[in-house]
Amino acid sequence: MPSVDFQKTVLEESRRRPVVVDFWAPWCGPCQSLSTLLEDLSKTSDGHWSLVSLNIDEHPDIVEQYTVRGIPDVRIFHRASSIAGFTGALSKEKVMTWLENNLPDDNLQHLQELQRTYTNQPQAFSTALEGFIDQHQDFKTAKVLLAMEKVWSSPQQAVELIGTIQEGHKEFEKAEAVRELSRLMLLEEDGQPSVYQVLMEAKSAFADNNIKSGAQKLIEAISIDKNYNQALPKKAALALFQILGKQHPVSLKYRPLFDMAIY
């Protein structure tokens, strides 16, 4: 493994995005498995952070500067400073929790600011999100949010936005919800008029931004045939609750009715 240009790949890069530094050595057994784990996690980070593996035998000056006393030693660098770290081999779950709790995310903070700024202004929020995504093409959280906004009016575009999000990604469940609701919004007649008609009424309600009426029609469709079209009524209802969140008034009212209709 080539020597690391610490100034460039860690300190300078950390001014653009967080850098996780893995201090290791070839003779350290636990380092091998942890390094592999960190490499796997970095590949699914959507570019939110970068990983630098630093062989302590080749960089004694950096080891001394950052007081590395034992390995494996993992640090997060942000804006040219070490802001968090741990020593020893941890399980995948513990490493993921550590990263989640300690990685700064300027993009996420910006996204949250947009949400606060455009509360109850869906069209303005969508426009702001589109501009944000133009500048952050790899930020899938923003794409999921935009897909959730677009699913009622432009379901095909919503599907395209979340097309690369696969199982294992932190936004996968929301992406799946968008896919199921897109199936509903793209539904075409297929010869079963009873349940189909109710689903079309749900589709129309959602297109008119009448979420409450749409949810009611989904419950009605479940009562008629919950397994219709690959369980579309059931899956669309679950997708709706996923996107709205547990505390949304529609979820609070219709999730118990959904449970009753299913069983």
Could you confirm whether 28 is annotated as catalytic?
yes
* List 10, 19, 21, 31, catalytic entry: 31
Contact indicator for 24, 72 with CB cutoff of 8 Å: yes
Mark out the alpha helices in the chain (DSSP H runs).
6, 29-43, 60-65, 92-102, 106-117, 122-135, 140-150, 155-161, 172-185, 193-207, 211-225, 228-244, 249-262
CATH 3.40.30.10 domain position(s) in the chain: 6-104
6-104 has which fold? Answer: Glutaredoxin (3.40.30)
pLDDT of residue 144: 93
Mean residue pLDDT of the chain comes to: 91
Judge if pTM exceeds 0.85. no
Q: Which are the contacts of 253, defined by CB distance < 8 A and separation ≥ 6?
A: 212, 215
pLDDT at 212: 97
For residue 119, how far is the Cα from the chain centroid?
21
pLDDT tier, 49 (very low <50, low <70, confident <90, very high otherwise) = very high
Tell me the mean pLDDT in the region 162-176. 85
3-state secondary structure 176-201: HHHHHHHHHHCCCCCCCHHHHHHHHH
How many whole angstroms separate alpha carbon 145 and alpha carbon 129? 8
User: What average pLDDT does range 65-73 have in this prediction?
Assistant: 93
Q: Exposed (0-12), middle (13-18) or buried (19+): which is 84, by Cβ within 10 Å?
A: middle
| For the chain, percent of residues with pLDDT exceeding 70 | 98
Check: CB of residue 196 under 8 Å from CB of residue 190: yes
What digits encode the pLDDT tens for the residues 112-125? 888 888 888 888 99
31 counts as catalytic: yes
Catalytic one among 28, 51, 62, 96?
Answer: 28
